[in-house]
Structure formats: structure tokens, C-alpha cells
């Protein structure tokens, strides 16, 4: 059995400290977009706020490969849908802790609602 790959500590720190994570879902040629990401237990998690039909989350459901940009580097990733309630609860807390400005808190709370919570996705380096 192959050990699961992990992000380097510097990469995790950058993701934790930056408000936006640049992501590209799938392998089709298109631009990177900015989304919110959190680090929980040295793992990277993202959620979809709008759950759009043509958004990054739906693309990852069809094709789990993609990439993120961190500190000027492009890192290939694989998206893994999270089923663990323990992890989802921790991700809820992480969003509320990281995004607590007056302009952000509404969206951080929305990311904890059932619709967005169901999209909890771990990004794993490939």
C-alpha cells in the first residue's frame, strides 16, 4: 500500500496564511481562479460556495486531477471528496477562524451550511 503524499510544511504555511488559493480543476487548459482554503491536521481542504454547474467542484467530480499555485509554484493535485464528519466539523471551525473579517464572516458561515459542507474536498499533491 502506497503512503499518501503530503504537502511540504512551507506550502501548508503559505496556504494557511494566504486568504486565497489559486486553483485549476481538471486537465483542460483554462485559467486559475481564487478560492478559500483551510489547513486542518496538516491537510488542505476547500469547499464550494456556489456549487455551480460549471464550477471547479463539479469539474473535480468528473476528473479528480488539477493544480494549485502556491508561492509562485504550480503544484499538481488530486481532489478527494471528504466523508468524515469529524473532518467536516474541523473544516467548519477552520473557515470561521481564518475568515473572520466583517466582510468575510457571512461567507465563512455559509461555507458551514449543508450545501457547501457537502462539497468538502481535500487536495492531495500528486
Q: Specify the pLDDT at position 21.
A: 98
The domains found in the chain, sorted by start residue, are: 9-125 (2.30.110.10)
Mean pLDDT of 33-44: 97
Give, as one character, the DSSP assignment of residue 32: -
Decide if 37 contacts 21 (C-beta within 8 A).
yes
The cell numbers describing 50, all together, are: 456556489
pLDDT tens digits for range 79-93 = 999 999 999 999 999
End-to-end CA distance of the chain: 16
Average pLDDT over residues 15-35: 94
Report the mean per-residue pLDDT for the chain. Answer: 94
Quick check: 3 pLDDT over 60? Answer: no
- Based on the number of CB atoms within 10 Å of its own CB, is 56 exposed (0-12), middle (13-18) or buried (19 or more)? buried
Amino acid at each position: 500500500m502506497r503512503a499518501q503524499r503530503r504537502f511540504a510544511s512551507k506550502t501548508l504555511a503559505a496556504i494557511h496564511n494566504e486568504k486565497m488559493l489559486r486553483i485549476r480543476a481538471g486537465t483542460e487548459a483554462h485559467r486559475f481562479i481564487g478560492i478559500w482554503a483551510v489547513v486542518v491536521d496538516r491537510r488542505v481542504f476547500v469547499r464550494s460556495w456556489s456549487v455551480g454547474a460549471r464550477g471547479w467542484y463539479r469539474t473535480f467530480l468528473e476528473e479528480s486531477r488539477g493544480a494549485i499555485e502556491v508561492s509562485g509554484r504550480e503544484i499538481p493535485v488530486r481532489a478527494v471528496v471528504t466523508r468524515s464528519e469529524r473532518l467536516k466539523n474541523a473544516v467548519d471551525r477552520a473557515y470561521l477562524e481564518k475568515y473572520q473579517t466583517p466582510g468575510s464572516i457571512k461567507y465563512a458561515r455559509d461555507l458551514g451550511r449543508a450545501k457547501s459542507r457537502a462539497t468538502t474536498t481535500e487536495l492531495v499533491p500528486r
